[in-house]
Amino acid sequence: MTASAVVTARPSVTISGLGPKRDRADPCTVVIFGAMGDLTKRKLMPALYELMKEGLVDPEFAVLGVGRESCDNDDMFRARMRESIEQSDEVHGFDPALWNSLCERLHYTCVELTDGKEYSKIDARLSEIEAKRAPEERNRLFYLAVPPSIFEPIVRNLSESGLAPRTRDAGVRPWVRVVVEKPFGRDLETATNLNQLVLSLFAEHQVFRIDHYLGKETVQNVLVLRFANSIFEPLWNRQWIHHVQITAAEDVGVGTRGRYYEEAGVVRDMFQNHLLQLLALTAMEPPYTMSAGAVRDEKVKVLKSVRWLDSEAIPRNAVRAQYRAGPINGKLVSGYIEEKDVDPSSTTPTYAAVRLYVDNWRWNGVPFYLRSGKRMKKRVSEIAVTFRSPPHLMFGHQTRGVLQPNTLVMRVQPDEGVNLNFEVKVPGAAVALTSEVEVAPVDMDFTYDEVFGETSAPAYETLLLDVMIGEATLFTRSDEVEAAWRVIDPLIHYWEEHPPDQMPTYAAGTWGPREAEELIVKDGVRWREL
């Protein structure tokens, strides 16, 4: 039996330190490389539309789409962007008047992105767009919504063409900022080389390495939950916490991204960025202030404390697998090796589970179990902190070995919120006759939309606004990227150098392979069924 408790919200308090206070972003031109691509249509353009709806962008805001695909004029680009906004599930109602206002701000130019001579076309269009602005208001945001293979030539061409000059400090106007999508490199060596290149061309304050997970409400709420509530932080250590499970499960397969996924796999795609970011936020020490530098300093300390996986430890602490055919919502779906652009003999993992330890004073001996996979039973991402069981239960034999430990769950997606379970006595007088107390778990469940009456802003809406105002807290710093790769790099290379004789598999629509259960059952732990 599980009961539920109602959660209500009291009047809110604003916490300072998350960047400068302002009514809206600076005037700027958002230059999107890969403007005809999937990311632009599904995420970036709907986010910009919503920011306009909320009055958070400046009246002089504009967008210049840049891509290889030829367009006769701006109208073709505008028509495609309108279609993407109308079809988006991240847009709350299509307003023709608002669209008309955005439409006149959209421009497009066809450029061969790797050819530096072509960047004069971008310069010409920017001169037209910025002509009516004062020089100090000609701010530029360059967004690289392109495959990682062409990051290097684009940043070189931006710098060498003079479109994106290096600036001395964050207060210089007009500002220039460059947004780079994940994955940032494909291993430690390439990430280090890319960092060296980018930082030779731009200052750190100009570079925004984006991880859309960090734009989700619950991820940001982790810090508030931990550091604004004294009931949690005294227990947030090895003495009271038994283990932590971090899950990022997807019910979709690789779809049309088979070629990309063959190169990336689940570890590069999810662990190096999303899951290690969630681990860092869960395990970090309190920053002295809620500023970008202070928060990122503490995250880097955690990542540097994660125990490295070597060739002897990996077989005991990590599991990989591929999804095979199975039912999803009553429909049979294909296995991974049957997907388009996937090698039928592929050993690329679509699922991985890893046991990690953070070797510092707070977390010594506490296992962090990370798992992620495609074609799992449902789409859900969460951080589950499981506390230690009471040392002794005096409520009768029926409760011993039955009562579950208290668990605090922070749901990242969907239904963003927080859940806390604890035990209570079931009402009744029978205890006087039996000397046994009937105990039942109660869930206290909080969701943002139920309590605050509104849907959380999509991650890209939050992150794009942060770039426009220069708030870097939710973006990864160069040393943070490299620290994360140092954790994951040995695992990737070990698995590539030691392909399995027979790849473990799991049926689509399940929670993963049998080997994943065997990985943690020796610790007296089971994976949560979400």
**Which pLDDT does position 211 carry in this prediction?**
86
Query: What CATH architecture applies to the domain 28-181?
Result: 3-Layer(aba) Sandwich (3.40)
- Per DSSP, 170 falls in state T
**Which pLDDT does position 271 carry in this prediction?**
94
Decide if 417 contacts 445 (C-beta within 8 A): yes
What pLDDT digit, counting tens, does each position of 163-208 carry? 999 998 888 899 999 999 887 888 999 999 999 999 999 999 999 9
3-state secondary structure (DSSP) of residue 177: strand
- Per DSSP, 456 falls in state P
How far apart are the C-alpha atoms of 505 and 139, rounded to whole Å?
50
* Element of type H or E holding 212: none
Q: Kindly report whether the peptide bond that precedes residue 165 is cis, defined as omega within 30 degrees of 0.
A: no
3-state secondary structure (DSSP) of residue 381: strand
Backbone phi and psi for residue 305, each to the nearest 5 degrees, phi listed first = -90, -10
Task: Kindly report which listed range (212-216, 239-243, 249-253, 471-475) carries the lowest average pLDDT score.
Answer: 212-216
Give domain limits for the chain. Answer: 28-181, 220-521
How far apart are the C-alpha atoms of 210 and 44, rounded to whole Å?
12
**Which pLDDT does position 455 carry in this prediction?**
65
User: pLDDT confidence of 396, banded at 50, 70, 90?
Assistant: low
User: pLDDT confidence of 435, banded at 50, 70, 90?
Assistant: low
The percent of residues in the chain predicted with pLDDT above 90, rounded, is: 69
User: pLDDT confidence of 492, banded at 50, 70, 90?
Assistant: very high
Query: How confident is the model over 360-372, as a mean pLDDT?
Result: 97
What pLDDT digit, counting tens, does each position of 289-329 carry? 888 999 999 999 999 999 999 999 999 999 999 999 999 88
Q: Does the pLDDT at position 430 exceed 80? A: no
How far apart are the C-alpha atoms of 473 and 291, rounded to whole Å?
6
Angle at 482 between CA 481 and CA 485, to 5 degrees: 90
Query: How confident is the model over 406-410, as a mean pLDDT?
Result: 94
- Per the annotation, the verdict on 498 as an active-site residue is no
Q: Does the pLDDT at position 385 exceed 60? A: yes
Tell me the angle at which helices 96-103 and 74-87 cross, rounded to the nearest 10 degrees: 140
Query: How confident is the model over 345-374, as a mean pLDDT?
Result: 97
Q: Does the pLDDT at position 18 exceed 50? A: no
Task: Kindly report which listed range (40-44, 125-129, 526-530) carries the lowest average pLDDT score.
Answer: 526-530
Give the tokens for residue 150. 């062409």
**Which pLDDT does position 397 carry in this prediction?**
55
Angle at 243 between CA 383 and CA 309, to 5 degrees: 95
How far apart are the C-alpha atoms of 23 and 299, rounded to whole Å?
30
Query: How confident is the model over 408-427, as a mean pLDDT?
Result: 86
Same fold, 28-181 and 220-521: no
Q: Does the pLDDT at position 12 exceed 80? A: no
What pLDDT digit, counting tens, does each position of 451-480 carry? 887 667 788 999 999 999 999 999 999 999
The domain made up of 220-521 has a fold known as Dihydrodipicolinate Reductase; domain 2 (3.30.360)
How far apart are the C-alpha atoms of 323 and 252, rounded to whole Å?
11
What pLDDT digit, counting tens, does each position of 134-144 carry? 999 999 999 99
**Which residue carries 């679509």 as its tokens?**
350
Q: Does the pLDDT at position 450 exceed 70? A: yes
Q: Which residue has the higher pLDDT, 487 or 405?
A: 487
Enumerate residues 6+ apart whose C-beta is below 8 A from 402: none
* Element of type H or E holding 139: strand 139-144
Backbone phi and psi for residue 18, each to the nearest 5 degrees, phi listed first = -100, 45
CB-CB neighbours of 12 under 10 Å: 7
What pLDDT digit, counting tens, does each position of 47-99 carry? 999 999 999 999 999 999 999 888 767 899 999 999 999 999 889 889 999 99
| Cα end-to-end span (Å), the chain | 17
Average model confidence (pLDDT) across the chain: 89
**Which residue carries 């959660």 as its tokens?**
7
How far apart are the C-alpha atoms of 206 and 475, rounded to whole Å?
11
**Which pLDDT does position 15 carry in this prediction?**
42
Model pTM above 0.85: yes
Instruction: Count the residues in the chain.
Output: 530
What pLDDT digit, counting tens, does each position of 215-230 carry? 877 778 899 899 999 9
**Which pLDDT does position 24 carry in this prediction?**
85
Query: Which residue is catalytic, options 107, 212, 274, 392?
Result: 274
**Which pLDDT does position 14 carry in this prediction?**
43
**Which pLDDT does position 16 carry in this prediction?**
43
Query: How confident is the model over 7-36, as a mean pLDDT?
Result: 70
3-state secondary structure (DSSP) of residue 238: coil
**Which pLDDT does position 44 carry in this prediction?**
96
